[in-house]
Amino acid sequence: MASSRPNILLIQADQMAANALAVYGNSTVKAPNIDRLAADGVVFENCYCNLPMCAPSRASMHAGMLPFSIGMYDNASEFHADIPTFAHYLRTLDYRVELSGKMHFVGADQFHGYEKRHTTEIYPANFAWSVDWSKGREHRPTNLTMAPIIESGPCVRSLQMDYDDEVAYHGLQALYDMARKGDDKPFMLTVSFTSPHSPFVIGQEYWDLYDHDDIELPAVAPLGLDEMDHLSRNLHYCQARHQFTVTDEHRRTARHGYYGMISYIDEKVGQLLEVLEKTGLADNTILIFTADHGEMMGERGMWFKQHFFEWAAKVPLIIRNPERWAPGRVKQNVSLIDLMPTMLDAGEGGPFGNYAAPIHGTSLVPALTGDTGAMSDVVISEFAADGSTGPSRMVKKGPYKLMWIEGVDTLLYNLDQDPLEVNNLADRDDHQHKRAELEAILFDGFDPDSLREVIIDSQKRRLLVHNATGGEPTYVNIVRADDNQRYVRNAGAADTKARARLPYMAPAQPDRSD
């Protein structure tokens, strides 16, 4: 079957840090199905998202282009309908292309090339969560604070379990339906979950997989304000860390919940694998497992994403099809924008040459065959979302990562020697050549001054539209009659998820004793 056009199954988790998985060195988490994927597949050891925030990361992944180049700045940036995605291109190759689950497309186009969406969206598809730099660093579009960390723990049911069970059901059913087609037309199916996104709340059966005392604390303790870079300080205030007291027990409990959520998603991965095998689809299906961004998980005292540090920006990437590619590991740097040309080359059976516009991603098919000699080993990530007060950019080449933080701070790390990113080399005399080399890459096509004005104009337009309309229409994909009222719509995500939890836990109150 390896000679026929392959099916493609893309499984995407939300906020799953590569560092939280055993295949990337984590010794606590229990995810046997993801481990099985890694054992049979090609593991990319250094894969990065291109903007550590949901909507821009997912849009750029679909477009094969860096986020700023397509106007994706934050979780309320419109993904414009005239940008070709891998879904469009695969349809030109006569693929059936379907989606079950979250994709956080913002704007009137909720398909972007997919022929069918099996579920509604979990998050707003309108401009409700627009960033507003004029309000400063404490502006919170989603009302995100430390409450989700302090309220982590087991539950009977959560909103995210509601959604992910729905996503899994429809994803499994789509595979059965594809298997029944009985023709030679290949499929590309995306199954995209919302877990293990915060809040870190999971059913008791998944919580009980772990001994609470075995949950490790973060490797890097919280930093003082004077030790933080500019963006980290912004996030400290944007996430209201100055208003809450987060203890070691809170940190351990949040990690416990996070690991339980990963085990829950791992169970879903196992279900999808089982259906592929039972239906005879496994041999000719390329399975891609990844995430949209990571989660800081208390490292440096930081939570959620919104930065370029490893826990936030590095994501798992495992590509599996033993009929085509032998298991292995690739150390060179890659990013999510490389998935588009990879899928298209695999679907074409050779280099795809019919792009309507240039892309920034590079096919990973040679690397899957063991040929890594031509890889650039360079990735770029960008940021202008919640917590920012200007645009930032990161470039990683080999083991060196350079972060340019709004023109205020520059950070340079050698990840081989300093995996915890605690030794900034940017001002060291013996690293000025490396800094200059990476800055040349970082500033190629990146003009932060003009970009700042473009982003501010975008924010103003979106905020006016949303304030004038109150968020109507919501734009969300409608599958059942009340979908425009289900899950998170115009309200803050943290509040909505908290109210949907069983048993309900009242929001944590800030500790203002200091």
pLDDT in tens, 252-276: 999 999 999 999 999 999 999 999 9
Extended beta strands in 354-408, E state: 378-383, 392-397, 400-405
Residue 252 Cα distances to 195, 247, 249, 296, 299, angstroms: 18, 9, 5, 13, 12
Question: What DSSP element (H or E) covers 247?
Answer: none
Average confidence (pLDDT) over 151-165: 96
pLDDT at 513: 45
pLDDT at 492: 84
Extended beta strands in 226-284, E state: none
Q: Among all residues, which ones are annotated catalytic?
A: 54, 104
pLDDT value at 184 more than 90: no
Q: What is the mean pLDDT of the chain?
A: 95
pLDDT value at 112 more than 60: yes
User: Where do the domains of the chain lie, and which CATH numbers do they carry?
Assistant: 7-499 (3.40.720.10)
What is the pTM for the complete model shown?
0.96
Q: How confident is the model at residue 484 (pLDDT cuts 50, 70, 90)?
A: confident
Average confidence (pLDDT) over 421-445: 98
**Using one digit for the tens of pLDDT, what is the confidence trace for 270-289?**
999 999 999 999 999 999 99
pLDDT at 493: 86
Average confidence (pLDDT) over 296-314: 98
Question: What DSSP element (H or E) covers 39?
Answer: helix 32-40
Token digits of residue 444: 């190629």
Average confidence (pLDDT) over 44-72: 98
Of 49, 102, 104, 100, which is closest to residue 77 (Cα–Cα)? 104
406: CB partners within 8 A, 6+ apart = 230, 231, 388, 389, 390, 391, 392, 448
